[in-house]
Chains A and B, each alone.
Chain A
Amino acid sequence: MAADIASWIFILAGSFLVVAGGIGILRLPDVYTRMHAAGVTDTLATFLLVVGMAFQAGFTLVTAKLLLIVVFTFFASPTASHALAQAALASGLKPRLAEDRRPKDGKSLDDGGAE
């Protein structure tokens, strides 16, 4: 019973974050900012959902496998996000910035992108 309640709390919190991430993807203006919203879904939302499921599974091998999913997500998702962001920048998509703190001398590097 207690496990069920805990499970509900975690899964509802995770679902809320997934929805919030989705809303963020719709509301934010460009690829780079949207990626931050997707980051919410990738990290804490995944973790909370999986922990909620682990409470359902109890102390079993299924829980161990669920936790492995979290581990692999946490290794894979930043790699994918970085690849996506770099591809966008390399193909010349300019981020909409409120503030650009990059050093001026390094700018040619960014515009060239390829290296």
Chain B
Amino acid sequence: MIRSIGLAVVLFALWLLLSGHFSPLLIGLGLGSSVLVVYITHRMNVIDHEGFPIHLGFAAPTYLLWLGWEIVKANVDVVRIILTPSLPISPTMFRVRASQKSELGHVVYANSITLTPGTVTVDIIDDELEVHALTSGAADELQGGQMDRMASHMEGNGENGAPEART
């Protein structure tokens, strides 16, 4: 229920943001369509901990900030490699364990790896991710497991709003 209300609020805020008009008619239409969309998604049974992961709470923005900084560092590394005349790459394939408990956690971790230039998640086999890295250094760093711990930490912090079973 909280998820449905939350989704309606987010949708309506998005409507206001994108329309920029505040006449009663347009606000009414926005309210109407938000409620309609929530009703449809409720019937489709997709408002769950994956579709609307509100339970992550403040852990998510904190993680995103950390990830943003990692992305900046990785960008600098990759650009430096590209612009070095000798092109010092050492492509490496390897597997890392995704220690997150939920599928959502696995997806967050796998996408974080892909979003960071220099590493791309190629495959997911059970709870292991197969990763292609541009350099063995990038591979070492990922195998060090800090990103895995950060993603698990974010997932763990969200536990008080535990993912409910789909009904």
Give chain A's interface residues, CB within 8 Å of chain B: 17, 20-21, 23-24, 27-30, 32-33, 35-37, 39-40, 42-44, 61, 64-65, 68, 74-75, 77-79, 81-82, 85-86, 89, 95-103, 106, 109-110
Contacts and interface: CB of A to CB of B under 8 A. Distances in A.
A36 B118 contact: yes
Contact of B122 (A30, A85, A98): A85
A30 B91 CA distance: 10
Contact of B121 (A24, A74, A82, A96): A82
Interface string B104-146: 0000001110111111111101001010101010010001000
Contacts of B75: 17, 40, 43-44
A110 B125 CA distance: 10
Among B89, B90, B114, B139, max chain A CB count under 10 A is at B114
A44 B71 CA distance: 7
Contacts, number: 134
B71 A106 contact: no
Nearest to B134: A36
B78 interface: yes
B132 A110 contact: no
Contacts of A17: 75, 79
Nearest to A81: B114
Q: Chain B, interface size: which category?
A: 35 or more
Given A85-B132, A110-B123, A102 B95 contact: yes
Given A85-B114, A95-B93, 13 more contacts: A21-B82, A28-B89, A32-B120, A36-B117, A40-B79, A43-B71, A43-B75, A68-B17, A78-B112, A95-B91, A97-B93, A98-B90, A100-B93
B157 interface: no
Nearest to A94: B93
A79 B111 contact: yes
Contact of B91 (A20, A27, A65, A97): A97
B44 interface: no
B117 A40 contact: yes
Contacts of A44: 71-72, 75, 117
Contacts of A24: 78-79, 82
A89 B123 contact: yes
A100 B83 contact: no
A6 to B, nearest CB: 17
B122 A86 contact: yes
A33 to B, nearest CB: 6
A68 B78 CA distance: 26
